[in-house]
């Protein structure tokens, strides 16, 4: 284990494995990352990939919160930040290093990332990467970086859809001691693109309405709230 040092988590939202919406398309990734940071897996490196809004950043953040909560130093960097000068220096001193949106890493930073991964692996630092596509589709200039990114297992994080998405939205309401009817969800699924990325901000707006008015959400009230 690395020294018990703390690092600010201001760069990443406070999320947890418990608040992650588990469905058929992401259950393996959720279970594997949880086991990874709990130490019940022999792996020291994982690569997650999937489309925008699928929950990759949520899993990275949850991993950071869990390891940091035990008093260990972590590092969370989005791809564009990882490409800045000296951003990857000294990360081997952390217990966990997460690099998100790796597709945004510039070619100029590939050498530094190779060296960082090698240092971290030598120090037994856990490495967690995420991107919108698998490593071989990132258009990397360096073959050695592709090889290093593939040293651990990879898991696809699929977006919630259908009944899984519906249950996730109901769960968000229930955690706030509210409810939402199937008729309202049917309307929202017709009115908006049925994805978590699109519907979650809409739901947050409707939650504010329900709380402020202290009234149950109906289709008519939702239409009014949305200015229709």
Instruction: Say if residues 56 and 50 touch (Cβ distance below 8 Å).
Output: yes
Q: Report the residue count for the chain.
A: 228
Please tell me whether residue 185 adopts helix, strand or coil conformation.
helix
**What are the phi and psi torsion angles at 96 (to 5°)?**
-140, 135
Domain boundary pick from 156, 181, 213: 156
d(CA 158, CA 22) in angstroms, rounded, equals 10
d(CA 106, CA 72) in angstroms, rounded, equals 29
Residues 142 and 180 in one domain: no
Residues 107 and 207 in one domain: no
Q: Is position 189 within any domain?
A: yes
Q: Is position 35 within any domain?
A: yes
Residue entry with tokens 């925008």: 52
Of the candidates 153, 158, 155, which has an alpha carbon nearest to the alpha carbon of residue 41?
153
3-state helix, strand, coil in the chain (%, to 5): 50, 10, 40
In terms of pTM, does the model score above 0.85? no
Tell me the CATH number at 59. Answer: 3.40.50.300
Residues 34 and 113 in one domain: yes
Domain boundary pick from 156, 185, 208: 156
Quote the number of domains for the chain.
2
d(CA 21, CA 47) in angstroms, rounded, equals 19
Residues 143 and 176 in one domain: no
Q: Is position 204 within any domain?
A: yes
Residues 206 and 102 in one domain: no
Tokens standing for 122? 């030598």
| 132-147: b (≥16 Cβ within 10 Å) or e | beebeebebeeeebee
Q: Is position 188 within any domain?
A: yes
Residues 107 and 127 in one domain: yes
Domain boundary pick from 156, 183, 214: 156
Tens place of pLDDT for every residue, the chain, 228 residues?
454 333 433 444 457 888 888 888 899 999 999 999 998 888 899 999 998 888 899 999 999 999 999 999 999 999 888 888 899 999 999 999 999 999 999 999 999 999 999 999 999 999 999 999 999 999 999 999 999 999 999 999 998 888 888 888 888 888 888 888 999 999 999 999 988 888 888 988 888 888 887 778 889 988 988 887
Residues 44 and 147 in one domain: yes
Which residue range is the domain that position 168 belongs to? 162-225
Residues 47 and 90 in one domain: yes
d(CA 193, CA 48) in angstroms, rounded, equals 24
């Amino acid at each position: 284990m690395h020294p018990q040092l703390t690092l600010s988590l201001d760069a990443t939202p406070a999320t947890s494995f418990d608040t992650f919406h588990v469905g058929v398309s992401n259950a393996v990734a959720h279970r594997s990352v949880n086991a990874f940071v709990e130490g019940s897996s022999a792996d020291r490196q994982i690569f997650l990939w999937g489309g925008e809004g699928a929950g990759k950043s949520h899993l990275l953040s949850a991993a950071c919160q869990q390891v940091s909560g035990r008093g260990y130093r972590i590092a969370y960097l989005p791809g564009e930040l990882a490409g800045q000068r000296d951003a990857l220096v000294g990360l081997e001193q952390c217990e966990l290093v997460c690099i998100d949106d790796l597709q945004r890493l510039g070619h100029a930073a590939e050498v530094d990332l190779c060296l960082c991964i090698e240092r971290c692996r030598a120090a037994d630092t856990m490495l967690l990467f995420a991107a919108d596509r698998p490593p071989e589709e990132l258009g990397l200039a360096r073959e050695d970086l592709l090889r290093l990114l593939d040293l651990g297992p990879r898991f696809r994080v699929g977006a919630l859809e259908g009944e899984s998405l519906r249950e996730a939205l109901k769960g968000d309401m229930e955690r706030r001691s509210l409810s939402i009817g199937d008729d309202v969800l049917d309307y929202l699924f017709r009115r908006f693109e049925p994805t978590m990325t699109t519907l979650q901000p809409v739901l947050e707006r409707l939650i504010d309405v329900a709380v402020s008015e202290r009234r149950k959400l109906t289709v008519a009230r939702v239409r009014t709230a949305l200015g229709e």
